[in-house]
């Protein structure tokens, strides 16, 4: 059970190390519901220090770009979690080693939020116990929807939904034949912009279409990868956002015409290809390499089955 006691105990002298996978959401038809964890990781070390405030070092992706003070998203996530359990935030020193691309539809903001929530869990170990639904609730409060933070927290394929009691999730194990390929362009895409292009209502037939494809997609991912091309069809969101990322849309159409189960990764502009065998990934990457008008990076990734981890080093005093 989650302890929401307001008594505050200092985690002085503690250091934790957190590892969080990148994610890809929607997976075509599963808009705001389905997410998949990928073996691409941000790593974070957080130490409690005597001085108040937060000091952040960023290495890798985002270095020299993201805030290095209390406005940093990871710091805000730690602070949010401490406050939710009635704990006083100590001074913090953070060292972030980031590999997840920013603004490309691979869950970088969700990973930052989960990093902070998991760091808070580790720093509060033995003081406040935070259960899985508590972690998901805190992360969703910051992210706004659970489809990215659920797989980042728990790994694998996740189905996420909300109830009056808060967000819920179900984790599923992906068939070993599923071989993700992510194609990452140089340009970025704002999630807020992508969502602004979404209509408030869609045709009834399109809603039925996506219900059928999203249920088929779960079967394809956990049992029948040969169905992935049909299962990744979508009429709810990708076509509405196509004008904001024309090359992404063009390449997805070309990939699908060639038989590859290609979709927009999250809000884009990256492309996710849910291949049914490793060899198919190479062929898909070659197609994009030969037809793209701009440079694209091909990331051959495994599915992450573990999710976010946190290790407490109680004897290290920083």
pLDDT band at 200 (very low <50, low <70, confident <90, very high): confident
Burial annotation 74-91 (CB, 10 A radius, 16+ → b, else e): bbbbbbbbbebbebebbe
pLDDT reading at 5 higher than 50: no
Q: How much is the pLDDT for 196?
A: 78
Number of H helices, E strands in the chain: 10, 11
Residue 189 banded pLDDT, cuts 50, 70, 90: confident
Q: Is the pLDDT at 135 greater than 60, yes or no?
A: yes
Average pLDDT of the segment spanning 213-219: 97
Cα(41)–Cα(260) distance, integer angstroms: 26
243 is in an annotated binding site: no
Query: Which range, 28-32, 76-80, 207-211, is most confident?
Result: 76-80
**Residue 144, annotated ligand binder?**
no
The pLDDT of 110-121, averaged and rounded, is 98
Q: How high is the mean pLDDT of the chain?
A: 93
- Confidence at residue 8, expressed as pLDDT on a 0 to 100 scale: 65
In the DSSP assignment, the letter for residue 310 is E
- Express as a percent the part of the chain with pLDDT over 70: 95
- pLDDT, tens digit, 9 for 90 and up, residues 76-103: 999 999 999 999 999 999 999 999 999 9
* Beta pairing partners, 142: none
So what's the pLDDT on residue 4? 47
91 is in an annotated binding site: no
Question: Can you give the residue ranges of every domain in the chain?
Answer: 15-170+304-313, 179-300
CATH C-level class of 15-170+304-313: alpha beta
Per-residue pLDDT at 198: 72
Tokens of 14: 């503690």
86 is in an annotated binding site: no
H or E element at residue 181: strand 179-185
Provide the pLDDT confidence category of residue 7 given band limits of 50, 70 and 90. low
Domain 179-300: which CATH class?
Answer: alpha beta
CA angle 174, 33, 168 (to 5 degrees): 90
126 known member of a binding site: no
Lowest mean pLDDT of 26-30, 73-77, 231-235, 242-246, name the range.
242-246
Flag whether 166 is marked binding: no
Is 13 annotated in a binding site? The answer is no
Least confident residue range of 61-65, 140-144, 276-280: 276-280
**Which of 3-12, 46-55, 182-191 shows the lowest per-residue confidence on average (mean pLDDT)?**
3-12
First to last CA, the chain: 31
Query: How far apart, in Å, are the Cα atoms of 195 and each of 104, 267, 268?
Result: 14, 8, 11
* Model confidence at 6: pLDDT above 70: no
Q: pTM (2 decimals)?
A: 0.92
Is 108 annotated as contributing to ligand binding? yes
Whether the predicted pLDDT of 221 surpasses 60: yes
Helix axes 108-123, 73-84, angle to 10 degrees: 40
How far is residue 90's CA from residue 107's CA, in Å, rounded to a whole number? Answer: 28
Structure tokens at 221: 């991912």
What pLDDT digit, counting tens, does each position of 293-317 carry? 999 999 999 999 999 999 998 664 4
Element (DSSP H or E) covering residue 210: helix 204-222
Q: Is 124 flagged in the annotation as binding?
A: no
Residue 192's pLDDT is: 72
């Amino acid at each position: 059970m989650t302890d929401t006691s307001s008594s505050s105990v200092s985690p002085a002298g503690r250091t934790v190390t957190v590892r969080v996978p990148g994610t890809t959401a929607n997976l075509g038809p599963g808009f705001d519901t389905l997410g998949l964890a990928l073996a691409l990781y941000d790593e974070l070390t957080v130490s409690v220090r005597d001085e108040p405030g937060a000091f952040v070092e960023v290495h890798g992706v985002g270095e020299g770009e993201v805030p290095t003070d209390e406005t940093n998203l990871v710091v805000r996530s730690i602070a949010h979690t401490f406050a939710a359990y009635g704990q006083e935030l100590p001074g913090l020193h953070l060292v972030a080693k980031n590999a997840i691309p920013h603004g490309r539809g691979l869950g970088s903001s969700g990973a930052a939020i989960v990093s902070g929530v998991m760091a808070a869990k580790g720093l509060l170990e033995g003081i406040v116990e935070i259960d899985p639904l508590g972690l998901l609730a805190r992360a969703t409060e910051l992210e706004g929807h659970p489809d990215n933070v659920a797989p980042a927290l728990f790994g694998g394929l996740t189905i996420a939904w909300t109830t009056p009691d808060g967000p819920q999730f179900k984790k599923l194990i992906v068939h070993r034949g599923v071989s993700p390929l992510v194609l990452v362009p140089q340009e970025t895409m704002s999630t807020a912009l992508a969502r602004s292009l979404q209509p408030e209502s869609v045709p009834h037939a399109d809603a039925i279409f996506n219900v059928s494809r999203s249920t088929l997609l779960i079967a394809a991912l956990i049992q029948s990868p040969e169905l992935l091309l049909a299962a990744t069809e979508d009429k709810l969101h990708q076509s509405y956002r196509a004008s904001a990322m024309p090359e992404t849309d063009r390449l997805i159409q070309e990939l699908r015409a060639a038989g590859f189960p290609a979709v927009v990764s999250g809000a884009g502009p990256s492309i996710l290809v849910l291949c049914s065998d490793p060899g198919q990934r190479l062929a898909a990457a070659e197609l994009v390499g030969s037809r793209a008008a701009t440079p694209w990076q091909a990331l051959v990734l495994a599915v992450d089955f573990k999710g976010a981890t946190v290790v407490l080093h109680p004897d290290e005093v920083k």
